[in-house]
């Protein structure tokens, strides 16, 4: 079974600075999807960014980018120019492409605090 | 487009009562997921459906929990009888299997408190 590990329970960053959240995963599959979701205090799960494993190019969405290292099974999230609204729990997640196994497997989450 | 719609948003009930959570997935999506989030266990999958058929229910805690998907636009998660340890946020999510991106979209969650 796949597992996802986020080794940083909490992180903090100064407003306007850059922060990187770590994620590693374990799988024997060669094709899969990886995601970062943001959960603000409202508890809504908001998609931040996704990465297809077959793509070598790292995904980017405005201030959010990932460093995808397939061989190392690492998928970190970089937030540039941090804003107060970025404060939230961030979850890394893995999704298989195999029929019948396409659930999301989540890491434990990293709580990000933005200091003004 | 409307997202995943869940109801109720908040429910407080007494131990032993039946609780029914409802979900309307995004139109056209063929996979539906029920997740539960607690401080102790994080986000855990309870059950997921593909084309209205349960595919993986290994996360359903016990016989007190049941889920149905009678059609492509509606699903329920029922707890009977409810217990205080069932207090959690329950998320419904949906996706279109096979579409590039394969993203799962979440509803806003149902906050359940069992006293």
* Residue B100, pLDDT score: 57
* Residue A100, pLDDT score: 72
* Residue B101, pLDDT score: 59
Q: What is the pLDDT of residues A20-76, one digit of tens each?
A: 999 999 999 999 999 999 999 989 999 999 999 998 899 999 999 999 999 999 999
Strand partners for A78: A20, A65
Could you give the CA distance from residue A36 to residue A45 in angstroms, rounded to a whole number?
10
- From A45, which residue of chain B is nearest by alpha-carbon distance? B106
Nearest to B103 among A50, A97, A105 (CB): A50
Mapped onto helix, strand or coil, the DSSP state of residue B48 is strand
Mutate to test the interface with B, among A44, A45, A108 (most CBs of B within 10 A): A45
Could you give the CA distance from residue A97 to residue A99 in angstroms, rounded to a whole number?
6
Q: Of the candidates B27, B25, B34, which has an alpha carbon nearest to the alpha carbon of residue B5?
A: B25
Q: What is the pLDDT of residues A88-108, one digit of tens each?
A: 999 999 998 887 778 899 999
Q: In which residue ranges of chain B is pLDDT below 50?
A: none
Q: Is A111 near chain B, with CB under 8 Å?
A: no
* Residue B97, pLDDT score: 76
Q: Of the candidates A42, A61, A41, which has an alpha carbon nearest to the alpha carbon of residue A50?
A: A61
Nearest to B101 among A50, A101, A102 (CB): A50
**Cβ atoms within 10 Å of B72's Cβ, excluding its own:** 16
B25 within 8 A of B73, measured Cβ to Cβ = yes
CA separation, residue A9 to residues A91, A112, B84 (Å): 11, 9, 27
């Amino acid at each position: 079974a796949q597992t996802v590990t986020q080794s940083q329970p909490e992180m903090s960053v100064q407003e306007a600075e850059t922060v990187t959240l770590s994620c590693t995963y374990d799988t024997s599959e060669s094709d899969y999807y990886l995601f970062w979701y943001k959960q603000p205090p409202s508890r809504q799960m908001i998609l931040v960014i996704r990465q297809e494993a077959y793509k070598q190019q790292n995904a980017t969405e405005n201030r959010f980018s990932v460093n995808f290292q397939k061989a190392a099974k690492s998928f970190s999230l970089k937030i540039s120019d941090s804003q107060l609204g970025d404060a939230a729990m961030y979850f890394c997640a893995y999704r298989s492409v195999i029929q019948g196994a396409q659930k999301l497997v989540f890491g434990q989450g990293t709580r990000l605090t933005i200091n003004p | 487009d409307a997202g995943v719609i869940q109801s109720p948003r908040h429910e407080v009930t007494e131990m032993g009562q039946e609780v029914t959570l409802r979900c309307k997935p995004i139109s056209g999506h063929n996979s539906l997921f029920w997740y539960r989030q607690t401080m102790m266990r994080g986000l855990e999958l309870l059950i997921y459906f593909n084309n209205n058929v349960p595919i993986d229910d290994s996360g359903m805690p016990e016989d007190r929990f049941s889920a149905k998907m009678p059609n492509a636009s509606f699903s329920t998660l029922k707890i009977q009888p409810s217990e205080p340890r069932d207090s959690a946020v329950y998320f419904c999510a949906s996706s279109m299997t096979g579409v590039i991106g394969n993203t799962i979209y979440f509803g806003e969650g149902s906050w359940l408190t069992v006293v």
